[in-house]
Each structure stands twice: as C-alpha cells, then as structure tokens.
Amino acid sequence: MKQKAAIEFGIIGLGTFGSNLAKKLAKAGREVLAIDQNEDRVNDIKDYVSTAFVVKSLDKFILEETGIQNCETVIVCISKDMAISVLTTLNIVNMGVPRVIAKANSDDHGMILEKLGAEVVYPERDMADRIGGMLLNSRRLDFIHLNGNVSVSEFRIPECFVGMTIKETQLRDKYFLSIVAVESDGETYTKVNPKHILKEDDYMVVVGDNENIEEFEKDFLNQD
C-alpha cells in the first residue's frame, strides 16, 4: 500500500493560541491540518489551512480518521481540560508522530506531558515573562521573538556608549550580539557603519540569543 505523504503540522485545539499558531504557520506557506470539536472555530480557520476537521471527540479512532498520524509535528493546544489534554497527547505519541508539542497551564500538567514524551510549552507564562522583562527594563523599547531562543530587540543607547563607535562597544565580541540597525538624527540605517559615533538620542536594534540580550541589558544598566 502506498504510504501517505507526510503533513508538516497538525494543530489540535483551535482556541486563541491554536488558531493563531495555525494561521501563522499557514501564512508562512506551511501545510497545516487543524482539528477542533467546535464547528465555529473550524469554520474560522478553514480558509487559512490546508485541511480542517470538526470532530465529535478526540479519541484515537477519530484522530486517525483525520490523518493526524501522518503529520511530522503535532501541537496539542488544549490546556483547560487536563484529562483531555493528557489523553490526546498520549494518543498522538502512541501513533508514532515524530514530534509532539503540548500546551500546559501548570507545572504538574507539564510534568505529565513530558513523561508521555511531548515537548511542553507554557504560552501564557512565557509571554508574561517576556513582557514583564520588557516593562521592567525601560531601555528595551521593543522586541520580536524569532525561532528558538533568538530575538530582535530595540534599545535606547546607554549613557556609557555615548561618544563611542559601534565597534568600540564590542557587542559582538562580548555578548555575541549583532547590531542590525541604528536610528540617528531621525534616520534609520540598516547598513551599519562600525565607525558610526553613537549619540545620546540614538537607538539601536540588535539580534541574538535571549540569554545574551538579557546579560547585555543587566551589564549596561548597572553602568548607567
């Protein structure tokens, strides 16, 4: 029998997190199979994704009928009902899906999901941490979280950098951060000149690992 072609992503649960994730992946040109028990949610997403199913339940037999077992990655976006989340994750893992990611809303919930073999995400907690960190640090004006552990962040130039060239800041050498843009005198420059002398009202946009960005923030805040 001919083996079915793998589907890139499967999304189970189309609440706020699941539907936004499905749309983001679909808009990036990825193949997405979406499943929910709520017909209205499925109708809202069906024009964005490759395939969308309304299911009566999330038992193994019905899940297999949708073809979810053919996905390379399945994200279980159910967290309010822990029992359904755990059982659905168990079924997906037992189907042999290569990568299973599950949303959790507590440490206990996440611990169970991890023991089943799933990668665990805590969307609400992670977003709160990022926004809280940004609010606590007045110098970070904006950030964009990229894949994995990488972010793009915008900063006001700290006082200790005023009068220095970009090269003299040693951001790349000390913190492994790349300056991808500088705003100076109302102009934004994406071709960053390492000899540019930083002024008091300049801004810079850096890209790098979150840990390195946080270390940089901590160090230069202590210097001001």
Longest dimension (CA), the chain: 70
State how far the Cα of 44 lies from the Cα of 28, in Å rounded to an integer.
18
Q: 126-223: which CATH architecture? A: 2-Layer Sandwich (3.30)
* Distance of alpha carbon 25 from alpha carbon 40, whole angstroms: 20
Residue pair 214/176 in contact (Cβ under 8 Å)? The answer is: no
Euclidean distance between CA atoms 48 and 30, whole angstroms: 11
pLDDT at 129 (0 to 100): 63
| Domains 7-121 and 126-223 belong to one CATH topology | no
Which residues neighbour 130 within 8 Å (Cβ) at sequence distance 6 or greater? 143, 145
Taking 50 as the pLDDT cut, the residues of the chain under it are 1-3, 135, 137-141, 222-224
pLDDT value, residue 2 = 37
Give the per-residue pLDDT at 211.
83
pLDDT computed for residue 193 by the predictor: 86
Residue 193 tokens read as 């000149």
Residues whose CB falls within 8 Å of the CB of residue 150, separated by 6 or more in sequence, listed in order:
207, 208, 209, 210
Average pLDDT, the chain: 84
Question: What is this structure's pTM?
Answer: 0.61
- Written as one string, the DSSP assignment of 82-136 is HHHHHHHHHHHHHTT-SEEEEE-SSHHHHHHHHHTT-EEE-HHHHHHHHHHHHHH
Amino acid at 141: L
Q: pLDDT (tens digit, 9 = 90+) per residue, 95-121?
A: 999 999 999 988 999 999 999 999 998
Q: How far apart are CA 115 and CA 154, in angstroms?
A: 38
Pick the CATH number of 7-121 from 3.40.190.10, 3.40.50.720, 3.30.70.270, 1.20.1050.10: 3.40.50.720
pLDDT score of 189: 80
Domain limits, the chain: 7-121, 126-223
Take residue 189 and report the two structure tokens written for it.
């420059």
- Is 157 within 8 Å of 167 (Cβ atoms)? no
